[in-house]
Amino acid sequence: MIHRKKLVVLTGAGISAESGISTFRDSGGLWEQYDIMEVASIEGWNKNPELVQRFYNDRRKQLSEVEPNTAHGILAELENDFDVTIVTQNVDNLHERAGSTKIVHLHGEMTKARSSDNPDLVIDIGYRAIEPGEKAQDGSRLRPHVVWFGEMVPMIEPAKKIVSEADILVIVGTSLVVYPAAGLINYAAKDIPVFLIDPDEISYCGRDIKQIQEKATTGMEKLTEILKDFLAAAPSRQKQMTLTFKNVDNLAIKLAGNGTLVIDWGDGTANETHILTSPEPSSAVPFRHTCHEASTRTVTIIGENITCLACDCPELISLDVSRNTSLKNLICINSQMTDLDVSNNTALNNLICVYSQLTDLDVRKNLVLTRLDCSGNELSAEALNNLFATLPQPISLIGKIQISDNPGTDDCDRSIAENNGWWVN
């Protein structure tokens, strides 16, 4: 199986402007015709729903009269060579009409409407107008399926996960000023290339960005030439895990997951290939290997869908599972590790690293972590406070942290964790 690089594209109004879609921000755009808060805010809807309906009915009619442009078409064609996901601030359907297949609409979709009371009650309406007083199935007033100022952006969390998994990030048609969408770039891994297509010079201090100073259509044409170099590059290291052991000749780990698994035991023997069909931690498969001599060695594990790694070994001195976006459970017991970096492991749900020698634990940008047990380590009060400050907000379960038997347990500020919705045992 060929694993194609993950290309994530953030798009904004600029990519649709060349198709004739009016924008708010440009000269002659919609802001000069309407007060934005009158037609694109929840307050405006509550004050004058008829005006808001007319505004979106006109935009829907305009959408029916335009076509995708070259930039939309190039993004669709890139799916032949890359695993492409588009995260768009646009509410039009031009990406879909151009042939792109994986699209996340942050701000909703113009060709859909929904209940005013139930955001999950959504219907397709195409390009037709919503009639005055038209009702949804639950009897509430039918409204455009768009996100207005003053409303939450429900797709922002899935978008964060998508960006964090990218091998290449492209930004086109947006100037990185509209939040929360503009903050998505901060979830991209630090070592991936980021391209920005915009005709205006943009200074961004957060990271190294390669700008193509062109409008969307010509900029995308230039980008396709640049991306050809990535097709010949080495495959993504995203699914690779490395464990370093010191002075041990008998190695043992447990793994769970689905699909093909390759293990390089680091002693010059041939790589082992296995098929995993046990995704749950309770059915993790043991893998053992006897080396020719006891020495420091690095074990490399490559697999597309590894969901659990468990290791009980005093000789384990380092572990790198960064950006393994399928990993849900990580269990390490009795190791010599002093620091552990699981940042950007966006599926990680349970992290248990106990009775080791950790002095630093980095869990930044973990989106779904709901259990953390780091008992029996060497974490100071400062290290624990830093850990608490970077914990994700629990999404569905009450978070649980276990920190007993660390030097800083009694002096750390547990309220930091408790205020974020966790409780400390």
CB atoms inside a 10 Å sphere around CB 70: 15
Catalytic residue among 72, 95, 105, 107: 107
**255 pairs with which residues across the strands?**
285, 309
Measured in residues, the chain has a length of: 425
In whole angstroms, what is the distance from residue 396 CA to residue 389 CA? 19
Pairing of strands 142-146, 194-197: unpaired
Joined tokens for residue 241 = 């895990």
Amino acid at site 98: A
Nearest in space to 210 (alpha carbons), one of 235, 193, 232: 193
Which 3 state secondary structure label does DSSP give 305? strand
User: DSSP letter at 141?
Assistant: B
Taking each helix axis from N to C end, the angle separating 70-77 and 216-231, rounded to the nearest 10 degrees, works out to 20
Q: Can you tell me the distance from the alpha carbon of 368 to that of 355, in angstroms, rounded to the nearest whole number?
A: 24
Distance (Å, whole) CA 63 – CA 128? 11
The reply to whether 72 belongs to the active site is no
Distance CA 204, CA 297 (A): 41
Cβ distance 206 to 220 under 8 Å?
no
- Token digits of residue 281: 């931690």
Q: What span, in angstroms and rounded, lies between the C-alpha atoms of 385 and 410? A: 12
Cβ 49 vs Cβ 43: under 8 Å: no
Active site residues: 107
